[in-house]
């Protein structure tokens, strides 16, 4: 897992862009936001990990398979760079974890009867609605 994160950090390219938000005049002078780009195909991930990463990344992954993470929470380049790298590592770690198996829920006889009785009651309530005919 750490090997993948280290390889991703080596392959990722960082660029600094002008940020909005806190920072006062500093925001207008210094490009503090970091845009981290990573070509996911260069990582050579197994197909199931790639699909999980694609799902987790959502709109952060481009059609060309590039993962784009923008970090602009902090006022300094270094803090934003660390934030972007941390978010990349967290995303890759989550993509590598297998989803847990869903345990089937079991319904006992009493529960089944109660459910069916509730459905019958609800059906009779709905059947009682409608136009009243005077035959």
Q: Give the pair of three-digit tokens for residue 58.
A: 């959502």
Tokens 């109660």 belong to 114
CA proximity to 85, closest of 17, 16, 35, 22: 35
Q: Where are the domains of the chain?
A: 2-96
| pLDDT tens digit sequence for 9-26 | 777 777 787 777 666 666
Question: Using an 8 Å Cβ cutoff, are 11 and 38 in contact?
Answer: yes
pLDDT tens digit string along 35-71? Answer: 888 888 888 888 888 888 888 888 888 888 888 988 8
- CA angle, 97 as apex, 93 and 103 as ends, to 5°? 150
CA angle 76, 81, 87 (to 5 degrees): 130
Tell me if residue 129 falls in helix, strand or coil.
coil
Report field, pTM of the whole predicted structure over 0.75: no
- What is the fold, at CATH topology level, of the domain defined by 2-96? Double Stranded RNA Binding Domain (3.30.160)
């Amino acid at each position: 897992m750490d090997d993948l994160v280290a390889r991703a950090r080596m392959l990722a390219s960082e660029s600094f862009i002008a940020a909005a938000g806190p920072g006062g005049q500093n925001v207008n002078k210094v490009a503090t936001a970091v845009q981290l780009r990573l070509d996911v195909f260069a990582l050579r991930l197994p197909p199931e990990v790639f699909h999980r990463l694609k799902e987790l990344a959502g709109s952060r992954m481009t059609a060309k398979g590039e993962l784009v993470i923008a970090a602009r929470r902090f006022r300094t380049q270094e803090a934003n760079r660390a934030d972007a790298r941390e978010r990349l590592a967290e995303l890759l770690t989550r993509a590598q974890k297998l989803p847990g198996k869903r345990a089937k829920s079991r319904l006992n006889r009493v529960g089944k009867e109660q459910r069916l009785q509730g459905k019958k009651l609800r059906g009779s309530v709905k059947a009682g609605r409608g136009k009243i005919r005077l035959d």
